[in-house]
A and B are shown apart, each in its own frame.
Chain A
């Protein structure tokens, strides 16, 4: 049972390059999320989606774009990478029902911008 799968696991970029992080979930979850984790700051929400074809901004959306063309996939894009975007990125998903259902996380993508 795969759960939430993030691709790639590691990546090094040069300033100004673009890339896309892929998140795939096989639990038929309606909600999906992208977070970034920086030392001493916990996890901060970048963007989220409540269903196929929908996206919304989180706490720190600047410099990122997202798309959810298929229910099972949530893509995070960096159009012009900056050193400040060096971070560990986590994708999570959750079903739409039941208050006490937790978000299920992928294993993270470690991204370095030089």
Chain B
């Protein structure tokens, strides 16, 4: 069974500094994908970034980058130059491989609450 672990329930960062949110995963699939979502206090789920297990380079999207270490089964989200609007809950999620029953189901971690301070 797939499992996502986010060990940081809460994190604080100063505005304009970088922050790393940890995510480790466990799967027996060779092909899988990792997603990060942001959930602000308003409640909606916002997709941030994706990393495929066969991608040769770490994913980047603007101020978001993913530090993907396949051998260590970690996919940490790095937010550079933090802004007050980055304060939110962040979820790591893993998509199952294509050969595990279909549906492209996601398994979510328990999330990290990030607070950006002045």
Chain A interface residues (CB < 8 Å from chain B): 31, 33, 35, 40-45, 48, 50, 56, 58, 88, 90, 92, 94, 99-100, 102-105, 107-108
Residues of chain B within 8 A of A41, CB atoms compared: 110
Known contacts A42-B91, A105-B45, A108-B43, A48 near B103 by CB under 8 Å:
yes
Spell out B's residues near A (CB within 8 Å): 4, 31, 33, 35, 37, 43-45, 47, 50, 52, 91, 93, 95, 98, 102-111
Contacts of B35 in A (CB 8 A): 102-103
**Total inter-chain residue pairs, C-beta < 8 Å:** 56
Q: Which of A50, A99, A103 contacts B102 (CB 8 A)?
A: A50
Is A107 touching B91 in the complex (CB atoms < 8 A)?
no
Chain B residue numbers with a CB within 8 Å of A44 are 108
Query: Which residues of chain A are within 8 angstroms of B98 by Cβ–Cβ distance?
Result: 99
Q: Which one of A33, A88, A103 has the highest number of Cβ atoms from chain B below 10 Å of its Cβ?
A: A103
Contact partner, A102, options B43, B47, B105, Cβ 8 Å: B47
Q: What is the chain B residue whose CB lies nearest that of A9? A: B43
Interchain nearest-CB distance for A21 vs B (Å): 15
Chain B's closest residue to A108 (CB) is B43
Please tell me if the beta carbons of B108 and A33 are within 8 angstroms of each other in the complex: no
Nearest first, the 6 closest Cβ-Cβ pairs linking A and B are A105-B45, A42-B108, A102-B47, A43-B108, A42-B110, A100-B50
CB contact under 8 A between A43 and B44, given known A48-B103, A94-B104, A100-B50: no
List B contacts of A100 (CB < 8 A).
Answer: 33, 50, 52
Given contacts A99-B33, A99-B95, A102-B35, 20 further A-B contacts (CB under 8 A): A33-B105, A33-B106, A41-B110, A42-B111, A43-B91, A43-B93, A43-B108, A45-B107, A48-B105, A50-B102, A94-B104, A99-B31, A99-B52, A100-B52, A102-B47, A103-B47, A105-B44, A107-B43, A107-B44, A108-B43
